[in-house]
Structure 1
Amino acid sequence: MIDIRLHHPLSGFDLDVSLQAGPGITALYGPSGSGKTTLVNAVAGLLRPRAGRISAGSDLLFDAATGVDQPPHRRNIGYVFQEPRLFPHLNVRANLNYGAKRAHKAAAGPAFDDVVDMLGIAPLLARPTGALSGGERARVSIGRALLSKPRLLLMDEPLAALDPARRAEILPFLERLRDAGLPVIYVSHALPEVTRLADTIALIDTGKLVAAGPAHHILSDPTLAQRLGGAQAGAVLRVTHGGVDDDGLTRLHLGGQSLFLPQSSPDMGHDLRIRIQASDVILSRNRPEGLSALNILTATVTQVQPGDAGRVFVQLTLPQGQILLARITARSAAILQLRSGTPCHAIVKAVAMDRADLSRS
């Protein structure tokens, strides 16, 4: 467990955060300039906070009160920057071996072949780094950090410099990294990316920790929806893969209910998660008839929270206990007389969901 408590002055506000990060991906999410990079730099030892304490298990990395401040090379922490910092005079294999040579002798971690296989970079080993695409460079940078066998991996917006196609290429590899169980602190202000990857979300704004908790709890909280992108806000549902129907639709099981995607998705395993944007959910008090929409879920209203521009966020509980969000107009909520305990039906257009919204759980 990584325990972070720090206070540090920044331009216009103070960074004042207490946070714990365990196995899996803890995403630091918030607007640019909110202090996320400063926080990970302090954990890495690249910045000395004015006050605070940082520990990794029983190992004290920094304590302003006692003067403890381990240098970066002794903290056994990997760091993947926004721009991959590969050595241009070395090929891919040599760059990876550089990370392996920096590994602590007693540290546990993945073997060279395991990292190469997980990241799909075996065909790249003999290439010079100048011949790599942006997505390939990002994967090699992650591999080099992993081969140093860190106890913690810091990733500061590693996909921000990539175009959408390259981001889509590397996201499945980051899912594999999450599944490996290594603690990862992942900085981003891209909500779809965070939604797909994070086990835990820490929402940071102007240096303060607004909320932190399991991703599905934070994303489905209507009181946080405006901070989580407004129109982009949405919940994550845990589903199981039910195969592909004869007409090409992918069936997902959600308790005793089903969701359908408009095209076949690759088999990513049995347990999956799907992101549904609140703006893609329509509500009805009665089960609708004669609609083209296939995804009609029985639900109960648990909260109605004001949003912006005459809209509200409606939190819904599905029969198996999972949470869905809908973003509708305040007028519609009033006409439907929505309040806590109101039974209703949530309609989600199949065409509103695609493979990018589906990932391994």
Structure 2
Amino acid sequence: MSFDVDIRRQLGEVEIACRIAPGAGVTVLFGPSGAGKTSVLNMVAGLLRPDAGHIGVDGCTLFDSRAGIDLRPETRRAGYVFQEPRLFPHLSVRANLLYGRRKGAVMDVDGVIQLLGIAALLDRWPRTLSGGEAKRVAIGRALLADPRFLLLDEPLASLDRKRGEEILVLLERLRDQLRLPILLVTHDRGEAERLGDRIVAFG
């Protein structure tokens, strides 16, 4: 299960180009802020249309400019975890997890809760969570949508060293146990080298 990406997009005066050769595991987009890494995630998710190229995941074509293929975001089944957790403030943690849960999802709710270690958080409100706890819930919500692949935008952003290490360990567990293709954005070289099976450099 892997990404096959070769895309370009002009945004103002900046041309963003990215090529990811097929290969299983975690692909890390590494480079400074403003280099276009998040734009690549958005193109893979279907939130931003490339000017040209193709995007495939696990043999399924999501976008191909020559063939006129451009699947809607909901059809692509991306599990997107944004830099900010974006939890619904009026819903409990449990309700946030269940929101958008895909019927017939491979992972069940109890399995995700156990995997992420968030059983004690289920009756709490997002405003009471630490940054690391909120990130775990956001990842859980993405997993319960039964994604074909995961997109993670700066998953350690705004976390202190201790919370960042907790999320790193969690991401290693997801990588090793779920076998989902993961595309991860970071500007931290240590994070890229620790998590990535391949690194695509920007900037």
> Of 100, 107, 115, which aligns to 2:112?
115
Q: Secondary structure at the match of 2:20?
A: strand
Q: Secondary structure at the match of 2:8?
A: strand
Aligned equivalents of 2:22, 2:29: Cα separation in 1:
10
Q: How does 1:56-67 map to 2 (within 5 A)?
A: 56-67=57-68
Q: How does 1:292-303 map to 2 (within 5 A)?
A: none
TM (norm. structure 1) is 0.53
Query: Contact 1:26/1:185 (CA < 8 Å) preserved in 2?
Result: yes
Aligned equivalents of 1:110, 1:84: Cα separation in 2:
20
- What number of residue pairs does the alignment pair up? 201
**Aligned sequence identity (%):** 52
Higher relative contact order (CA 8 A, sep 6+): 2
**Between Structure 1 and Structure 2, which shows a larger proportion of helix residues?**
2
> Is the counterpart of residue 182 in structure 1 residue 180 in structure 2?
yes
Change (3 A) 1:92 1:22: farther
Render the CA deviation track for 1:221-274: whole Å, top value 9, x for unaligned: xxxxxxxxxxxxxxxxxxxxxxxxxxxxxxxxxxxxxxxxxxxxxxxxxxxxxx
Q: How far is 1:178 from its partner?
A: 1.2
Query: Contact 1:29/1:187 (CA < 8 Å) preserved in 2?
Result: yes
> Of 126, 138, 154, which aligns to 2:151?
154
Aligned equivalents of 2:200, 2:47: Cα separation in 1:
21
Please name the residue that 1:79 is paired with: 80
Aligned equivalents of 1:59, 1:104: Cα separation in 2:
21
Q: Secondary structure at the match of 2:147?
A: coil
**Between Structure 1 and Structure 2, which shows a larger proportion of strand residues?**
1
1:192 is aligned with what amino acid? G
Please name the residue that 2:168 is paired with: 171
Render the CA deviation track for 1:87-110: whole Å, top value 9, x for unaligned: 11111111111142xx264x6x32
Q: How far is 1:75 from its partner?
A: 0.5
Aligned equivalents of 1:153, 1:21: Cα separation in 2:
16
Change (3 A) 1:7 1:14: same
Q: How far is 1:36 from its partner?
A: 0.8
2:189 is aligned with what amino acid? L
Query: Contact 1:76/1:104 (CA < 8 Å) preserved in 2?
Result: no
Structure whose alpha-carbon radius of gyration is higher:
1
Q: Secondary structure at the match of 1:186?
A: strand
Query: Contact 1:26/1:200 (CA < 8 Å) preserved in 2?
Result: yes
Aligned equivalents of 2:167, 2:58: Cα separation in 1:
30
Aligned equivalents of 2:117, 2:23: Cα separation in 1:
26
Q: How does 1:184-263 map to 2 (within 5 A)?
A: 184-205=182-203
Q: How far is 1:35 from its partner?
A: 1.4
Aligned equivalents of 2:196, 2:7: Cα separation in 1:
23
Aligned equivalents of 1:41, 1:21: Cα separation in 2:
19
Q: How far is 1:200 from its partner?
A: 1.8
> Of 132, 135, 138, which aligns to 2:135?
138
C-alpha RMSD of the superposition: 1.6
TM (norm. structure 2) is 0.92
